[in-house]
């Protein structure tokens, strides 16, 4: 995904530099801002394809800025990855319903950063261009809403399809039932957490004939993870 531009909004110069270096090595273009005032100027100069937004900034916080961006018709469609210092903040961002596209907790690894950035960019493009996801012999063509395994069609109900799409675009990460509900069913929708289990079962059943049901893993006491690793 070369040539996409990422705006890094981060007040700690060392982190900004490390992130910029990693993104440029992956052939992204970058712009930087140390606070929200700066960020507004950068966005006015050139609209970024994605914003990495630190939660704690001097003056206006990242949270307030996210709200501002998502509240304006001009900037609403720019994907945002919110970067937080603690897992509790990540939970809060999620709870605040800011419309951010993803969340990352410091300290994060550079491969994780790149994987998140690419996944969010892929999803944000999914509307117009054909989005294709491929993991462990499973292929998803989001434009045509088709899923296949080793070339054979996998038949899924609409909810199982959305669930699988969510997992394939967020691999190797554990999600609680509540988080899965928020991301797949949507926030503010009243559905019991048990419902997630029901649809996970159906999804596994659909993948079973292809020997791929093990991709959807139960993490005891926590939730679910999509992973190629056993």
Nearest distance from C-beta of residue 104 to Ca ion, angstroms: 13
- Residues 208/143/80/2 CA torsion (nearest 10 deg): 100
Chain centroid to CA 170? 6
- Which residue is nearest to Ca ion, using beta carbons? 56
**Which residues lie near Ca ion (CB under 5 A)?**
11, 54, 56
The residue among 11 and 141 lying less far from Ca ion, judged by its C-beta, is 11
Nearest distance from C-beta of residue 223 to Ca ion, angstroms: 29
- Residues 106/107/108/110 CA torsion (nearest 10 deg): 130
Q: What angle do CA 145, 196, 215 make, to 5 degrees?
A: 65
The residue among 46 and 96 lying less far from Ca ion, judged by its C-beta, is 96
Nearest distance from C-beta of residue 35 to Ca ion, angstroms: 10
Nearest distance from C-beta of residue 166 to Ca ion, angstroms: 29
Chain centroid to CA 10? 19
The residue among 59 and 95 lying less far from Ca ion, judged by its C-beta, is 59
CA 20/CA 14 separation, integer angstroms: 10
Please list, in sequence order, all residues whose beta carbon lies within 8 angstroms of the beta carbon of residue 72, skipping any fewer than 6 positions away: none
The residue among 89 and 160 lying less far from Ca ion, judged by its C-beta, is 89
The residue among 30 and 169 lying less far from Ca ion, judged by its C-beta, is 30
Please list, in sequence order, all residues whose beta carbon lies within 8 angstroms of the beta carbon of residue 144, skipping any fewer than 6 positions away: 130
Nearest distance from C-beta of residue 61 to Ca ion, angstroms: 9
Nearest distance from C-beta of residue 55 to Ca ion, angstroms: 7
The residue among 56 and 110 lying less far from Ca ion, judged by its C-beta, is 56
| Owner of token pair 């605040």 | 96
Paired residues of 84 in beta bridges: 105
Instruction: Return the SS3 of 24.
Output: helix
């Amino acid at each position: 995904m070369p040539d996409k531009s990422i705006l890094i909004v981060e007040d700690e110069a060392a982190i900004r530099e490390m992130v910029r270096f990693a993104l440029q090595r992956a052939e992204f273009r970058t712009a930087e801002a140390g606070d929200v005032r700066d960020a507004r100027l950068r966005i006015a100069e050139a609209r970024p394809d994605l914003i990495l937004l630190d939660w704690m900034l001097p003056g206006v916080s990242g949270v307030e800025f996210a709200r501002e961006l998502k509240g304006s018709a001009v900037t609403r469609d720019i994907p945002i990855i919110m970067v937080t210092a603690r897992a509790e903040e990540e939970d809060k961002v999620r709870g605040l319903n800011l419309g951010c596209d993803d969340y990352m907790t410091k300290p994060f690894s550079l491969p994780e950063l790149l994987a998140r950035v690419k996944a969010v960019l892929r999803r944000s493009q999914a509307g117009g261009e054909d989005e294709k996801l491929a993991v462990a012999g499973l292929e998803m063509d989001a434009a045509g809403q088709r899923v296949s395994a080793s070339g054979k069609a996998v038949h899924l109900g609409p909810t199982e399809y959305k669930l699988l799409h969510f997992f394939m675009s967020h691999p190797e990460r554990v999600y609680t039932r509540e988080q899965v509900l928020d991301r797949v069913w949507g926030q503010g929708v009243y559905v019991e957490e048990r419902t997630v289990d029901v649809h996970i079962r159906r999804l596994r059943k659909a993948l079973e004939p292809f020997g791929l049901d093990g991709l959807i893993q139960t993490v005891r006491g926590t939730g679910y993870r999509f992973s190629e690793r056993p």
